Amino acid sequence: MRGRRIKIMHILLSLEYGGAERVAVNLVNQLHGNGFECFLCLCDKEGPLLRHLSRDVSVEVAGRKQGIDFVLPFKLKTIMRRFRPDIVHMHNSTALFYGVVAAKLAGIQKLILTQHGTSQQHSKMHIVIKMLSPYIKKAVAVSENSYWYCRKMYGLNNGRLKIIMNGIEENLYKEDRGKREEVRKRLGIKEEFIIGHIARLSEEKDQSTLLYAFAEVAAKIEKVKLIIVGEGPLRNTLHSIVYSLRLEDKVIFVGGQDDIASFLNIFDLFVLSSVREGTSLTLLEAMAAGVPVVATNVGGNSKVVLDNKTGMLVPPKNPNILAEKIMYLLNSSPVRRSFAEAARERVVKEFSIDLSLIHI
């Protein structure tokens, strides 16, 4: 390969808003042109994160059918033979399921997996994935929880598997008072406390628990609003919960947003209510922006948040305790300030994207 750039084909489902998708885009942008030529193959569709991808990175959509698509590996094989990658890098289990078969058909030997979290796949699919996993040369888990998931579900061992925590460009999330006032004015928010949440609107993020917790908070603190940033399949369900709790004037859904930093600037508190999590980018970004956080004690969250030092950890699916911790922080400005300062310092020291890239 001496004398030319190493070609890497990344396989993922889409470029919709999501943590795994953002990690993949950041990785491609960092590597492309720096000794590597990257190419994205999307199983399902494109998405808004395409705007964040370097313009000279090629993207192709395979078009997966619903259910198990027996034709997809052959589509991927055709794409691989046209692009002729040296390495195929698959992101999460579905990409592994189809990507390994396609790579073997195309005669590609160097296969890499990044597991961004955990998933609830059909048991038969896991059996097949476990049969395919011996072809994986190297695998990366973004959290300890993801690591043990790979050990158990894929049968990967220490020789092929390592943990590399997600990282961010922390300088993108510095406090901007001017931006804070601009966004608050645009949303029609005056003196209220703002609780923020940024995530895909899906089952594993469990926004319903957040809404029930917020109902308790809103009943006791008059000037407070909840802003939810993100899109996903549960949007209508979550709107229905808001109406049933009579929180229409308190909860604002702003959809998916490109400028995450602007919204972080207006949050007084960031809450992550997930039931499953890898290493959450939005959690790291909130901490980098100096926003105090409350997060569920699942997945990689406990490796990011030091309980009662850089934020607070709560059990999942417990709206009462979540509401209690939210109200405690909203009523204690010195604690919020202390958590925010310690959180930013921790992100800069432990979760810079430069530190993550050192291990690649």
* Phi-psi label, residue 47: left if phi above 0, alpha if psi -120 to 50, beta otherwise: left
Strand, helix or coil for residue 288: helix
Taking Cα atoms as reference points, which of 208, 189, 195, 166 lies closest to residue 271? 195
Residue by residue, pLDDT tens for the chain (360 residues) are 456 899 999 999 999 988 899 999 989 998 998 899 999 999 999 999 999 999 899 999 999 998 889 999 999 999 999 999 999 999 999 999 999 999 999 999 999 999 998 876 556 777 888 899 899 999 999 988 889 889 988 888 878 999 988 888 878 887 776 778 888 888 989 888 999 999 999 999 999 999 999 999 999 999 999 999 999 999 999 999 999 999 999 999 999 998 899 999 999 999 999 999 988 999 999 999 999 999 999 988 999 999 999 999 999 999 999 999 999 999 999 999 999 999 999 998 888 776 554 344
Q: How far apart are CA 132 and CA 94, in angstroms?
A: 12
Q: Could you give the strand order of the β-sheet that contains 312-314, starting from the edge strand earlier in sequence?
A: 251-255, 224-229, 193-198, 269-272, 293-296, 312-314
Element spanning 285, H or E: helix 281-288
Q: How far apart are CA 21 and CA 326, in angstroms?
A: 29
**Helix axes of 333-350 and 281-288: crossing angle, nearest 10 degrees:** 120
Residues listed for the chain: 360
Strand, helix or coil for residue 15: coil
Q: CA angle, 255 as apex, 346 and 15 as ends, to 5°?
A: 75
Strand, helix or coil for residue 311: strand
Phi, psi of 47 (to 5 degrees): 150, 170
Taking Cα atoms as reference points, which of 332, 195, 333 lies closest to residue 269? 195
Q: How far apart are CA 209 and CA 195, in angstroms?
A: 14
Q: Which one-letter DSSP state was computed for residue 18?
A: S
Q: How far apart are CA 66 and CA 64, in angstroms?
A: 7
Query: pTM of the full predicted structure?
Result: 0.84
Burial-class residue 216 by CB neighbours within 10 Å (0-12, 13-18, 19+).
middle
Taking Cα atoms as reference points, which of 244, 221, 211 lies closest to residue 317? 211
